Chain A
Amino acid sequence: MTTLALAPAVGRVPRRSRPVREWLAGTLFVVPATMLLLAIILAPLLCLLILSLTDYEIGAMQIRWLGLGNFEKALSDPVFRRAMGNTLLYVALVLPGGVILGLLVALLVHGRTRSRAFYEVAYFLPVTATLIAMAAVWQFLLHPKLGPVNGLLKAAGFPEMAFISEPSLLIPTLAVIGLWNLIGFNMILFLAGLTAIPRDLYDAAEIDGAGGPIDRFLTVTWPQLAPTTMFVAVTTSITAFKVFDTVAVLTRGRDGSEVLLYAIYLEGFQYFKIGYSAALTVIFLAFMLAFSVFQAFQLDRRVHY
């Protein structure tokens, strides 16, 4: 009895006291992560900012300090402006579409019992698929002559549509493929959110007379999903800003299909204009951060209770 009561005290004497131990363990545990954080995020970020102010090119003999020259050049460059416009249009189509359709599918799937597994698989499958391979499939599906989509259109009496070569159709087509790739992911996130809503709230709504589908949605589902929606909106907009793979396969950034990342890729890794590409990257980052922060604030006001 006495030995038992004494054991912790005896054990503690030769060791370091708890705060110091905790301090040491904590520091030790984060060393690898911190070093990597410095090496592959913070240091490169700093380099990027510095590079963006220079005219550095691979193979060039000297580096000149340009100040904001790269940024001025970018803003007056028609190609870059088109890339920016296209990217924003793409985000404007994919962000609301991805959130709304993901939510709609999740709401419908959530009510299913026996068929739920089937729908989960069907909608999530595109997320796991290698987009680059599936882009080739889409290219074939949308082929003016060989593809079944145009085959259907023609069978229904519509004219043939050049989804991938007609500039005005290009970004919407890419957006549809982007949505196809992303809805399943949003659905799974929303399903997780829906599962976490207490059943009592729906019962209370029913007793209070708010039991119709619209009332239930407005009084319980939507407010309860607000945190999920915020997360989904931010991840969706980041994904949308990063559109690249489909462009690389379907158009290789041809006229009318320039997007930010492809422009950055071309300038930096094909033409080796490192300084200019770095400036474009900074603009890309600024846009994405601004978007995420704006949405987080917008939704945050409604999330906290």
Chain B
Amino acid sequence: MKAARFPLPTGRLLRFAGAHAVLLVGAAFMLLPFIWMLLTAIRAPDEILTGGLNPIPRSFHAVENFSAALQQAPLLRFMVNGVIICGGILIIQLIVAIPAAYALAKLRFPGRGLLFAAVIGGLCIPIQVPALPIYLALAEFGLLDSYFAMMVPFFLSVFAIFLFRQTFRGFPDEILQAARVDGLGEFEILWRIVVPSALPAIAAFSIFSIVAHWNDLYWPMIVIQRMDYAPPPLGMLFFANSETGASYGVLMAGATIITAPLVLVFLLARRRFVQGITMTGIK
């Protein structure tokens, strides 16, 4: 029996090609800075100054540029600071937000509506708004220039509360009731039953949080004067200002070092992250 196969219609073929054409142009635009950063980071200074369009470096200067970047500024120190700050913020955000979100989603208690309204309102208030008074308070207690100063405004993430509440709300009440009948306390229910089921959402939020605080410039710029505590972006700012156009290669090497960790994290966690966002049902 000979099968009558359908040819791929030309209309679909055209649409396929069109979509790829648009997407590839866009992707080139998105990736151009990364590519140029890498290429410049391995170029010799004289080659950079001639300003050629030639993408392939004529001489390989990576070792010089990267070691110069690491010597001229304590980049590794900045990154360690970044890890400490992001880790500290994330842990406390989760400890604070998860129980609150569970209570808002599944428990009845006085003031629940009010608290939820405050959370929604808080979503529209970025750090820049309470920055002044918090700064004054930290200065008053002599707490500026510390890890604590950099972390404290972010201990509460209303976004996390909102996100987790949305996720927990979908959790079936029957299971909670069964657990209560079995004699589990609310804390145990939360910790042993609800949280494990929400791990993808928690992972997605963690990426949000780490990306936001690894990259945050505004707040560190305000509370940090001493380089010892500077997180990567602030360090990068010091670094960029201390340099002149002549050593773009070194600057780009520095930018590569600071950008690399998050890019790697995303590449490794991409599928989980996209899943997590879909699961939380942000919309």
Tell whether A151 is near chain B: CB-to-CB under 8 Å: yes
Tell whether B112 is near chain A: CB-to-CB under 8 Å: yes
Closest residue of B by beta carbon distance from A179: B29
- 25 inter-chain pairs at a CB distance below 8 angstroms, sorted by A residue, are A23-B107, A24-B109, A25-B109, A27-B103, A33-B99, A33-B115, A44-B130, A44-B134, A45-B130, A47-B136, A51-B133, A111-B19, A115-B20, A123-B30, A130-B258, A132-B215, A133-B236, A134-B259, A140-B248, A146-B48, A180-B29, A227-B283, A242-B128, A245-B218, A284-B129
For the complex of A and B, 4 pairs with smallest distance between CB atoms: A26-B109, A44-B130, A33-B100, A26-B107
* Seed contacts A125-B34, A143-B245, A261-B218; 20 additional CB < 8 Å A-B pairs: A26-B112, A29-B107, A32-B96, A34-B115, A41-B118, A41-B130, A44-B133, A45-B129, A115-B20, A122-B27, A122-B31, A123-B30, A125-B30, A125-B263, A129-B259, A131-B217, A180-B29, A192-B274, A281-B132, A289-B124
Residue of A132, A145, A277 near B51 (CB, 8 A) is A145
- CB B184 to nearest CB in A, in angstroms, measures 11
Tell whether A21 is near chain B: CB-to-CB under 8 Å: yes
Majority DSSP secondary structure for residues of B touching A: helix
- CB A46 to nearest CB in B, in angstroms, measures 8
Tell whether B122 is near chain A: CB-to-CB under 8 Å: yes
**Which of A's residues lie within 8 Å of B, judged by CB?**
8, 11, 18-19, 21-30, 32-34, 36-37, 40-45, 47-48, 51, 101, 104-105, 108-109, 111-112, 115, 117-134, 136-138, 140-141, 143, 145-148, 151-152, 155, 180, 183-184, 188-189, 191-193, 195-196, 213, 227-228, 231, 238, 242, 244-245, 248-249, 261, 264-265, 268-269, 274, 277-278, 281, 284-285, 288-289, 292
Tell whether B125 is near chain A: CB-to-CB under 8 Å: yes
- A23-B108, A33-B100, A189-B282 given; A133·B255 CB < 8 A: yes
In the bound complex, residues from chain B placing their C-beta under 8 Å from that of A25 are: 103, 107, 109, 185-187
- CB A130 to nearest CB in B, in angstroms, measures 5
Tell whether B193 is near chain A: CB-to-CB under 8 Å: no
Residue of B51, B161, B271 with most chain A CB atoms under a 10 A cut-off: B51
How extensive is the interface on chain B, given as a class? 35 or more
- A40-B155, A145-B51, A146-B245 given; A281·B128 CB < 8 A: yes
Residue of A126, A129, A137, A289 near B36 (CB, 8 A) is A137
- CB B117 to nearest CB in A, in angstroms, measures 11
- Encode contact with A along B142-169: 1 for CB under 8 Å, 0 otherwise: 0000000000110110100100000000
Contact A285 B103, beta carbon cutoff 8 Å: no
Residue of A137, A227, A277 near B255 (CB, 8 A) is A137
Residue of A29, A141, A265 near B218 (CB, 8 A) is A265
In the bound complex, residues from chain A placing their C-beta under 8 Å from that of B221 are: 248, 265, 269
Residue of B23, B108, B283 near A26 (CB, 8 A) is B108
CA distance A165 to B254 in the complex (A): 24
Residue of B49, B112, B236, B252 near A132 (CB, 8 A) is B236
Contact B30 A184, beta carbon cutoff 8 Å: yes
CA distance A46 to B117 in the complex (A): 17
In the bound complex, residues from chain B placing their C-beta under 8 Å from that of A292 are: 124
Closest residue of B by beta carbon distance from A239: B126
Closest residue of B by beta carbon distance from A140: B248
In the bound complex, residues from chain A placing their C-beta under 8 Å from that of B152 are: 40
Residue of A30, A196, A248 near B100 (CB, 8 A) is A30
Contact A140 B252, beta carbon cutoff 8 Å: yes
Contact B100 A32, beta carbon cutoff 8 Å: yes
CA distance A10 to B29 in the complex (A): 68
Contact A130 B259, beta carbon cutoff 8 Å: yes
Contact A22 B107, beta carbon cutoff 8 Å: yes
Contact A180 B277, beta carbon cutoff 8 Å: no
In the bound complex, residues from chain B placing their C-beta under 8 Å from that of A238 are: 124, 126
CA distance A277 to B132 in the complex (A): 8
In the bound complex, residues from chain B placing their C-beta under 8 Å from that of A134 are: 33, 37, 255, 259
Contact B26 A105, beta carbon cutoff 8 Å: yes
- A32-B100, A128-B266 given; A119·B108 CB < 8 A: no
Contact B23 A284, beta carbon cutoff 8 Å: no
In the bound complex, residues from chain B placing their C-beta under 8 Å from that of A288 are: 124, 126
Contact A40 B108, beta carbon cutoff 8 Å: no
CA distance A201 to B64 in the complex (A): 59
CA distance A127 to B277 in the complex (A): 15
In the bound complex, residues from chain A placing their C-beta under 8 Å from that of B107 are: 22-23, 25-26, 29
Closest residue of B by beta carbon distance from A104: B22
- CB B46 to nearest CB in A, in angstroms, measures 12
Contact B278 A192, beta carbon cutoff 8 Å: yes
CA distance A51 to B129 in the complex (A): 12
- Encode contact with A along B242-260: 1 for CB under 8 Å, 0 otherwise: 0001001001101100110
Tell whether B95 is near chain A: CB-to-CB under 8 Å: yes
Tell whether B66 is near chain A: CB-to-CB under 8 Å: no
Contact B103 A130, beta carbon cutoff 8 Å: no
- CB A152 to nearest CB in B, in angstroms, measures 7
In the bound complex, residues from chain A placing their C-beta under 8 Å from that of B255 are: 130, 133-134, 136-137
In the bound complex, residues from chain B placing their C-beta under 8 Å from that of A37 are: 115, 118-119, 122, 156, 158
Contact B23 A108, beta carbon cutoff 8 Å: yes
- CB A295 to nearest CB in B, in angstroms, measures 11
